[in-house]
Amino acid sequence: MAQLRIALAQTNATVGDLSANADKLVTWTRDAAEHGAHLVVFTEMFLTGYPVEDLVLRTSFVDASIRTLEETAARLVTEGLGELPVVVGYVDRAGLAPRVGQPKGAPLDAAALLYRGEVVTRTAKHHLPNYGVFDEYRYFVRGDRLPIFRLHGVDVAIAVCEDLWQEGGPVAVVGRAGAGLLVVPNASPYEKEKDDVRLELCARRAREAGCALVYVNQVGGQDELVFDGDSIVVDAAGELVARAGQFKDELLVVDLDLPTSSAETGTFPYDMGDGSTITVDRFELSSEPVEPYPPQPARIAARLDLYGEVYAALVLAVRDYVAKNGFESVILGLSGGIDSALTATIAADAIGPSRVHGVLMPSRYTSDHSVGDAEELVRRQGLHARIVPISDIVDAFEKEIELSGLAAENLQARVRGMILMGLSNEHGHLVLTTGNKSELATGYSTLYGDSAGGFAPIKDVPKTMVWELSRWRNSHRDPAFLLDVDRPIPENSISKEPSAELRPDQRDTDSLPPYEVLDRLLDDYVEKDMGSQELIAAGHDPALVTRIIRLVDLAEYKRRQYPPGPKITPKNFGRDRRLPITNRWRETTG
């Protein structure tokens, strides 16, 4: 057996900022060297950021990725770090002639080993995911090489993300080839309660490969996706050895006892069992084991509970969307209700209350307690706030055009949206929308009104979870949160009956079932894709099934125009769920 100290660089890259990502790689590699690491592993497509989407269809972008990789390898030497091997993800190009059905330029979701100023080896993802939020058949071609390099006597294999999630494939080949360690760069997006799935997966794949496994995952927000880190190390028996924290940058350093190898070097073809082959490229960096040393205690970070991890995901998503898009501040409407209260709190925790601007926009139907609750939220959190009454503005519209019923209600929402967008244009604030997933599902959002904005922090949060997250935040503080106050959300905003207050004595239950009933039905219809008969068989009221399905289906055009927001459920409205707007298919209950 031989010892190796592995550094897992759980880091936050920015899509398209290759120079800054390369700088970060050098900084983190220096940190790993100072910790005595023998190998440092970065995340999937770290140099380019992930996902890069249609950027990979540009020759200039792929060229820049390859050039940055090679320049970074040389730079590590000039920085005195050339003796520390580095595994890092980037975008490469296959040496293939273009053909019909292949992405332009044949890009590869690749990983490379950098050592002594050279790109020693390159590999690429073999299994390309094409489900949920992933479109990788659109962008990449399959890799066909599996590098196994000998480091201080230990054979180390490299596989990329999805290759770990699929049965067989490169992981099975690693087992047949007899590697002592498998390292896997990942960009695995967050969804609630996914961490246990990952741990079980890593344990199963380690047993399949017959070796220890290092799973390094990206952290950070990227448009609708949030990456939670949660990097994992397991031994050959699948037992947890070390685990990084969630939703934060971390260099996880772990000492492993691993088997040495004297297997023959060279290239060897392996049958993948699916009609394809993969070439194993075995080569040596160093054969002599390191001198024995006292290992560091392994760190296993504590897990967040359900609401803690969801809340942390939302905070990170807002923080990164604001920072990576160059905004200095955010603005949102404050109604005194729970949705705007939670959204404001998430924003204050993400970027600090001094950068959050709230606007109270009472109408003739706004209750005194709603204004009071909004003012109490502002006082507790120390937000910037102003009051802009909208009654006279609405009256001015109604003098010129006669509106009634729903049209009059929507006018109030659109006036509020216009005010927020005007202040955004004037002061450069990012407008945050405050709608939740239950409202978005059923169409209870006004186009160009409460749906107007640039980012939607609770877009994927059902209404019942909005309440739970608010209660959780009122009883928890975290050093990562920039709002350092107890119980930031007024209790009345949590406990009072929800209402849009667009007409006298309005309540959400005037037109919707209780949210605990609605959210269960929406979960089955939206998340689980149940048809009407399945919904009724699952115990939902047939009349309610008919009504809610109709609301959800008719609101598709609204959802297409809604701002992006972070995915926290298995199926969000956006990348996960793509239905035609023009669509005459209707579920029937008979």
Q: What angle do CA 485, 486, 490 make, to 5 degrees?
A: 105
394-400, long-range: CB < 8 A, 24+ apart: 394/363, 394/364
Buried b / exposed e along 144-162 (16+ C-beta atoms within 10 A): bbbbbbbbbbbbbbbbbbb
Supply the DSSP symbol for 543.
Answer: H
Show the tokens assigned to 449: 């009104």
- Among candidate residues 206, 167, 168, the one with its CA nearest the CA of residue 184: 206
Rounded to whole angstroms, what are the CA distances from 265 to 155, 280, 331, 560?
10, 10, 60, 54
Q: Cis ω on the peptide bond leading into residue 580 (within 30° of 0)?
A: no
State the chain's maximal CA–CA distance in angstroms: 88
Q: Which of these is catalytic: 125, 437, 558, 571? A: 125
Q: In the annotation, is 125 catalytic?
A: yes
CB of 573 within 8 A of CB of 459? yes
With H, G, I as helix, E, B as strand and everything else as coil, classify residue 532. Answer: helix
Euclidean distance between CA atoms 85 and 45, whole angstroms: 17
Q: Got the DSSP string for 35-71?
A: TT-SEEE--TTTTT-S--GGGGG-HHHHHHHHHHHHH
CB of 343 within 8 A of CB of 458? yes
Euclidean distance between CA atoms 385 and 344, whole angstroms: 11
Q: In the annotation, is 44 catalytic?
A: yes
Euclidean distance between CA atoms 430 and 347, whole angstroms: 11
Q: Which of these is catalytic: 34, 71, 136, 161? A: 161
- Among candidate residues 537, 534, 522, 579, the one with its CA nearest the CA of residue 554: 579
CB of 216 within 8 A of CB of 111? no
- Among candidate residues 457, 448, 385, the one with its CA nearest the CA of residue 417: 448
Euclidean distance between CA atoms 550 and 173, whole angstroms: 50
CB of 559 within 8 A of CB of 452? no
Supply the DSSP symbol for 326.
Answer: T
Euclidean distance between CA atoms 319 and 248, whole angstroms: 12
Euclidean distance between CA atoms 178 and 75, whole angstroms: 33
Q: Which amino acid is at 157?
A: A
Euclidean distance between CA atoms 276 and 274, whole angstroms: 6
With H, G, I as helix, E, B as strand and everything else as coil, classify residue 452. Answer: coil
Catalytic residue IDs? 44, 125, 161
